[in-house]
Amino acid sequence: MKRLILGGIRSGKSRLAERFARESGLSVTYIATATVQDDAMQQRIGHHQRRRPKEWPLIEEPYRLAKQLQKEAREDRFLLVDCLTLWLTNLLLLNDETRLKQELTALQQSLPKLPGEIVLVSNETGLGVVPMGELSRRFCDEAGFLHQDLAQICDQVILTVAGLPHFLKGKPNAI
């Protein structure tokens, strides 16, 4: 099963993804896309690290997500990717349109073919005002397009608000 979990900052989306991983009974691998740019990001990463079970292997992959998923996906494995919007940010900051399109296409084309359970966590950015800055607007647009494309591919799409999952696609009991 492929799941997309969306939500705002501190909405409970990562916690929900981790619950699905624990309850799956499968071997879990955590794929983190964040890069440490400042103390605040280090603190956020530390919060996630403290909450995660120590037996879950961690793979840090800020750019080549599709390739990493292809390498790690197995029928008996649960892959938890956190988070797509940080991955997208990393790609946008490379300022390489060709690379951005290649990585987005690779993810969209490979995801349906991958075995096992995969949960993709991402920040929903389309519920606020249109940002004033050009890069911020571009980020929101690209994230919105990415979420729309992945929502078509995934078996289940969940919007998390205040720690509560709202199932947009797929049955709530499909764990």
Q: What are phi and psi for residue 46, nearest 5 degrees?
A: -60, -40
In the annotation, is 47 catalytic?
no
Which of the residues 47, 48, 147, 166 is marked catalytic? Answer: 48
Rounded CA Rg of the chain: 15
How far from the centroid of its chain's Cα atoms is residue 114's Cα? 16
Structure tokens at 48: 């996630």
Q: Which of the residues are catalytic?
A: 48
